[in-house]
Amino acid sequence: MVYLDAAATTPVRREALEAMWPHLTGRFGNPSSVHALGHDAAGALDTARRAVAGVLGARAAEVTFTSGGTEGDNAAVKGLALARRAAVGATRVVVSAVEHDAVLASAHWLATLGFEVVELVVDGDGFVDPGEVAAVLADGGAGVALVSLQLANNEVGTVQPVAEVAALTRAAGVPLHTDAVQAAGWLPLAVGGLGVDALTLSGHKVGAPPGTGALWVRRGVRLEPLVHGGGQERGRRSGTENVPGAVGFAVALGLAEAERVAAVASSGDGVDPVARERDAFVAAVRGGVGPLLPAGRGLRLTGHPTRRLPGHASFVLGGVSGESVLLELEERGVLSSSGSACHAGSDEPSHVLTAMGLDRETAQTALRFSWSRSTTAAELATAATALTDAVGSLTR
C-alpha cells in the first residue's frame, strides 16, 4: 500500500507513544493536584510546553495545549476578535477565502454577534496578494479586530505570504493569526520570522495522536477564553490538561522539525529534497495522465506551482470524476483523497477550488496527494503509474 493522504492524518510515531505511555499508566496524576503524582504530571506538562515553545522560538508561557487545529482556530479567531471588540470596539474580521473551515466557520459565527466578515480574494493559484490586506488596512486598521491567514493550504498546498502580511498588520496594530497545521514539519515555524501574533498547530499531522495540538499567542495579546472553569492553561483553556497528549505532541513536533532542518541542511542548496521528489511526481503525472484527457480542459496542477508544500501535489482532471479515480487507485494499492478530509462525503465542491475560479464541475474532479518524509521516490513513481492506469481505465 502506498499512503498519500498525510494531509488528512499521519500514523503516530513510536517515540511519541513511548513518551506518552508512562503518563497513561503509573504517572497518571492530575497536574493541579498537590501530591507527588500531581507534581510529576505538572512537570511533564511544563517540559512539553517548553519543547513546543522551542520549535516556535517562543516563550513557554505563550503556548496553550488544545485538542487540535479546529479548537485552536476557533480559540484564536473568536478569542482575539472578542477581546479586540471589548478593548477598542473593533468589529471587522478579515480572513482569506481559502481558509480551513475551522477559521471560516468561526468568522461567520462572529457575524451572528455583529461582526463584519471580510474575505480576501485569491488568484487562480489560491494565493493572497498582500496588497489586498493593505487595502483593508488602508485607514490604519481602524475597526479591524484581526486578520487570519493560513501559512499553507490543506487542499492545494499553496504557501501564503504570511511574513509580508504580518508587516502590514503589525504597522496597523492589528493582530494576525495563522493556521500552521499543514506547515508543521515542512516550513519554518519560528514566530519571530513569521511576525504573527497567534499560531495554530495540530498533532496528528506530525505523528502525534489525534486530539492533540497547541495554540501559541504572543505575550501581551489579549485573548478571550472560550472554555471557562478551573482556569487551567493560564486561564485560556479551562479543564484538566491532557498530559499524555501534550507529551506525545511535543515529541512528535520536535522530531518533525528536526527532520525538516536536517533534510534542508543535507540538500546543499537550501531546497527541501522532498520538493524535488514532488516535482518529479508532478512531471510523471503530467506525462502519463495528460495525454489521456481533452486538451484545454484536461489535467491541471492546482495551487501555486512553486510556493507550495514540498510533500503535496493536487490536480483537477477536467471531466473525470475524482471519486471514481480514488476508487480505482485504491484497487491499485494507492490511498489518496479528493481534498479536505473535513469534506468527505459532501456533494458540495471545494470552497478553496471555487475561490480559485474553478467551476463546480471541474472542482469535483479534484485529487490530492500528500505524503510524509518516509515516502520513497519509488512509491511516488508507483502512484503516478497507478494514476495513469486508473484514469486510462475510466476514459477508454
pLDDT 10s digit of each residue in the chain, 396 long?
999 999 999 999 999 999 999 999 999 999 999 999 999 999 999 999 999 999 999 999 999 999 999 999 999 999 999 999 999 999 999 999 999 999 999 999 999 999 999 999 999 999 999 999 999 999 888 899 999 999 999 999 999 999 999 999 999 999 999 999 999 999 999 999 999 999 999 999 999 999 999 999 999 999 999 999 999 999 999 999 999 999 999 999 999 999 999 999 999 899 999 999 999 999 999 999 999 998 767 899 999 999 999 999 999 998 899 999 999 999 999 999 987 555 555 578 899 999 999 999 999 999 999 999 999 999 999 999 999 999 999 987
Interatomic CA distance for residues 300 and 334, integer angstroms: 20
Q: What pLDDT is stored for residue 296 in this prediction?
A: 66
Q: Which three cell numbers stand for residue 119?
A: 474575505
**Distances 384 to 1, 253, 306, 368 between C-alpha atoms, Å:** 14, 30, 20, 12
Assigned superfamily of 2-8+271-395: Aspartate Aminotransferase, domain 1 (3.90.1150.10)
Residues facing 198 on adjacent strands: 177, 217
Q: What pLDDT is stored for residue 396 in this prediction?
A: 74
Q: What pLDDT is stored for residue 346 in this prediction?
A: 59
The residues annotated as belonging to the active site are: 342
Whether 2-8+271-395 shares its CATH topology with 14-258 is answered no
Interatomic CA distance for residues 235 and 317, integer angstroms: 49
Domain ranges of the chain: 2-8+271-395, 14-258
Is residue 365 within 8 A of residue 317, CB to CB? The reply is: yes
Looking at domain 14-258, its CATH architecture is 3-Layer(aba) Sandwich (3.40)
Is residue 352 within 8 A of residue 119, CB to CB? The reply is: no
Q: What pLDDT is stored for residue 377 in this prediction?
A: 97
For the chain, how far is it from start to end, CA to CA, in angstroms?
A: 26
- Tell which residue, 92, 56, 55, 60, has the closest CA to residue 77: 92
